[in-house]
Amino acid sequence: MKILVAVKRVVDFSVKVRVKADETGLDLIGVKMSLNPFDEIAVEEAVRLKEKGIASEIIVVSIGEKACQESLRTALALGADRAIHVETPLETQPLGVAKTLKALVEKESPSLVILGKQAIDDDFNQTGQMLAALLKWPQGTFASHITMGNKEIEVTREVDGGLETLKMPLPAVITTDLRLNEPRYATLPNIMKAKQKPLEVLTPEAISVDLTPRLKTIKVTEPPRRKAGIKVANVDELIDKLYHEAKVL
């Protein structure tokens, strides 16, 4: 079974981002970038399926500028077999990414597509659902546990009321949640081996995909600063302030 995993290069989760002075976007000059944490979980799950003998090949895909190849090499070091980079200077948005992945699915014919449930930079949480709709494949979103069967997959997903278990035929689209697994660290030997693994570079035109953005960012501003809190001496004073000043009781 072949698995296709989509990954994205994002600002590292430990970095406090800054807004540009003209409020047109984020200031990314000199900012540490890394593999999207949810996508890292997707790669780990694919590698575990291969280690169990369920998967035969793992293909990682990224869409964006040339620097995305760093994230692809990271995924290769974690255990993926080969990579595909769809290089474009344009801003990537969910529908364009979903159309690109659909074209690559038709090219590679995987039995399973795994994505992170969302990217931590834009938090759209749309690409996996859009891809499943375009492919007309079943989908299991927010997966916290996956069990592979004979030509089918069972997905336990987190919903507002608790956990929901779905069983669906393959091929299918899965998006990963944080509780699915704990990604491994790439070892130095695997990092060196990743440099020799195949990485194919394509253009959107080569796969007949239009990545022109459909959304335009008008303005980016920082959230308002939190007001300083106050200390109270006892419960009676707390209740008095909540009732008379804050008027929440």
Strand 9-11 to 172-176 pairing: unpaired
What average pLDDT score do residues 40-46 get? 97
User: Is a pLDDT exceeding 90 seen at residue 15?
Assistant: no
10 Å CB burial of residue 36 (0-12, 13-18, 19+) is buried
What average pLDDT score do residues 48-56 get? 95
What average pLDDT score do residues 214-239 get? 87
Largest alpha-carbon pair distance within the chain? 70
CA geometry: angle at 15 spanning 61 and 11, to 5°? 20
Q: What is the pTM of this model?
A: 0.86
In total, how many domains does the chain have?
1
Residue in 33, 30, 27 with CA at minimum distance from that of residue 13: 33
Residue 156: φ, ψ to 5°? -95, 125
Residue 179: count other Cβ atoms within 10 Å of its Cβ.
13
Domain that holds residue 38: 2-245
Under the banding of pLDDT at 50, 70 and 90, the label for residue 28 is confident
Quote the pLDDT of residue 249: 66
Domain harbouring 34, CATH code: 3.40.50.620
Terminal Cα-to-Cα distance of the chain (whole angstroms): 59
